[in-house]
Amino acid sequence: MPAFVAVDLGASSGRVMLGRADGGPIELVEVRRFDTGPRTRPDGGLRWDISTMLSETITGIRTAAAADPVSIGLDSWAVDYGLIDASGRLDGDVRCYRDPRTEGKADVLRSRIDDQTLYGVNGLQYLPFNTVYQLLAEPPERLDGHTMLLVPDLLGYLLTGELGAEVTNASTTGLLDAKTRQWSQEVLDASGIPPSLLPPLRQPGEHIGLFESIPVVAVASHDTASAVAAVPATRDDFGYISCGTWSLVGLRLSSPMLTEAAREANFTNEAGIDGTTRFLRNTMGLWLLSESLRVWNAELAPLLAEAARQPAFAAVIDPNDEVFLTPGDIPARIASQCRRTGQTPPGSPPGIVRTILESLALAHATTLQAAARLANQDVAVVHLVGGGARNELLCQLTADACGLPVLAGPVEASAMGNIIVQANAAGVHADPSPPFARYEPQGNRHDWIAAAQRIGLAFG
């Protein structure tokens, strides 16, 4: 069976996977896994360690090369970039989107182009770290005579020497026109970002270059685009949750939804494969859990088991509060949000874990309801893919809150989507693996309605 190498970089770990497919479900094997987590600098800034990611990626690819792969594809989280100078070198560090430098930059852009006009062009949800705000935080001289490469494009360049911007990830910059899928002159003019900064766009499936004589192919290089491409849907009326560091909750649409209602609800229209639109909203995902575990220096499995036995709905929070964005003492921030909303904070780590999972489930449900309402679409089933699919309590709570069956898996959805695009480019049909579990909704919906009311969320 033809083999393909997927390099999938997440915000805490990176993987090199080998996928084999020949008309049916992909057989996936992990070749190498490594930490990617950003490093804090003495000045408080957060940077990615690109050189370690590159050397780990190369080691993984060389191991996978024994299987004589057809091609290599690269995907990662969105929005972050490196700047290549005129001599072709990476100039300076690659900042992490959680770095606080973008504070106030949305107001700078707003003073040059109003929110409605901007959304009408780029269709992008407001997130304080969208690339356009990061670029406005750069010293202007860093934008002259440079080329901006988003992380997977940067890795692709370091492997092949070829410059380009893959379109699904480019759609998270704020600089792409959601309808034409071209760089937007209007946003460039308004933001003052020089067009020379942006490399030519490339499409998923396009040949990029060679690494040690193996072809490197552009995939849906935004990990969420790859994950959505790997949703094992068997019907059209499905919603999805790509649940990892973030929970990306929404629908697959055939064209962008650039209405004022969608903007007010802060939904995004990111580019998907085959011309589809990823109509979704970011919800702070397992980051709340992983960052809490780091603070407690604790293991996940025993805490999850105890969380399942905790009383339900002791306290809920809105995980999308920007206070949860930066690294730090998440449990303390949860406690303070509980107090602010008149709730008693959970008194123990298992209680906090229960609060996090119920709050994520609530956010999943309210976001999916909003997506269905805005797009005027019925949703009969929810596909939950990514690392969160392993979390049984989260899957069950999500089914309960949504009042819909949740189909869990695949866990490695981004890697599978990455391989699907490579396989298709090689003329091979490949399917994601089917869901491995189904959760039916249980419990009382009124509990969820009451929980949503406590934190002022619209439900139902």
Residues recognised as catalytic: 223
* 52, 55, 329, 389 from 59: Cα distances, Å: 10, 6, 35, 28
From 185-193, 244-252, 402-410, 418-426, span contacting ligand LFR (CB under 6 A): 244-252
The least distance separating ligand LFR from the CB of residue 56, rounded to whole angstroms, comes to: 18
Q: Contact 393/357 with Cβ under 8 angstroms?
A: yes
3-state secondary structure 427-440: CCCCECCCCCEEEC
Question: Phi/psi zone of residue 456: left (φ > 0), alpha (ψ -120 to 50 degrees), beta?
Answer: left
Residue 244 contacts ligand LFR per CB under 6 A:
yes
The least distance separating ligand LFR from the CB of residue 246, rounded to whole angstroms, comes to: 4
CA distance 259 to 277: 14
Q: Which of 36, 282, 310, 391 touches ligand LFR (CB under 6 A)? A: 282
Residue 240 contacts ligand LFR per CB under 6 A:
no
Residue 130 contacts ligand LFR per CB under 6 A:
no
Q: In what order do the strands lie in the sheet with 71-76?
A: 27-35, 13-20, 3-9, 71-76, 214-217, 207-211
Which of helix, strand or coil describes residue 287? helix
Residue 75 contacts ligand LFR per CB under 6 A:
no
The least distance separating ligand LFR from the CB of residue 386, rounded to whole angstroms, comes to: 9
Binding mask 182-201 for ligand LFR (x = CB under 6 A): --------------------
The least distance separating ligand LFR from the CB of residue 173, rounded to whole angstroms, comes to: 11
- Type and span of the H or E element at 404: none
Residue 77 contacts ligand LFR per CB under 6 A:
yes
At CA 43, angle to CA 37 and CA 45, rounded to 5? Answer: 35
Q: Which of 6, 17, 79, 241 touches ligand LFR (CB under 6 A)? A: 79
The least distance separating ligand LFR from the CB of residue 224, rounded to whole angstroms, comes to: 4
Tally Cβ neighbours within 10 Å of residue 335. 20
From 23-31, 76-84, 183-191, 428-436, span contacting ligand LFR (CB under 6 A): 76-84
Residue 284 contacts ligand LFR per CB under 6 A:
no
Measured from the CB atom, the residue of 174 and 349 that comes closer to ligand LFR is 174
Measured from the CB atom, the residue of 4 and 97 that comes closer to ligand LFR is 97
The least distance separating ligand LFR from the CB of residue 286, rounded to whole angstroms, comes to: 11
The least distance separating ligand LFR from the CB of residue 288, rounded to whole angstroms, comes to: 14
Residues 211-230 within binding reach of ligand LFR (CB under 6 A) = 222-224
Residue 245 contacts ligand LFR per CB under 6 A:
yes
CA distance 427 to 416: 16
Residue 267 contacts ligand LFR per CB under 6 A:
no
Residue 119 contacts ligand LFR per CB under 6 A:
no
CA distance 357 to 278: 24
Q: Contact 408/438 with Cβ under 8 angstroms?
A: yes
Residue 246 contacts ligand LFR per CB under 6 A:
yes
CA distance 59 to 44: 31
Tally Cβ neighbours within 10 Å of residue 419. 33
Measured from the CB atom, the residue of 314 and 325 that comes closer to ligand LFR is 325
Question: Phi/psi zone of residue 183: left (φ > 0), alpha (ψ -120 to 50 degrees), beta?
Answer: beta
The least distance separating ligand LFR from the CB of residue 70, rounded to whole angstroms, comes to: 26
Burial of 126 (0-12, 13-18, 19+ CB in 10 A): middle
**Backbone torsions φ then ψ of 227, nearest 5 degrees:** -65, -45
CA distance 53 to 455: 40
Q: Which of 78, 158, 170, 214 touches ligand LFR (CB under 6 A)? A: 78
Measured from the CB atom, the residue of 83 and 352 that comes closer to ligand LFR is 83
- Size of the residue set binding ligand LFR (CB under 6 A): 13
**Side-chain half-sphere exposure of 287, counting CA atoms within 13 A:** 22
Measured from the CB atom, the residue of 5 and 248 that comes closer to ligand LFR is 248
Q: Which of 163, 228, 248, 407 touches ligand LFR (CB under 6 A)? A: 248
In the complex, the residues that contact ligand LFR under the rule CB under 6 A are 11, 77-79, 97, 222-224, 244-246, 248, 282
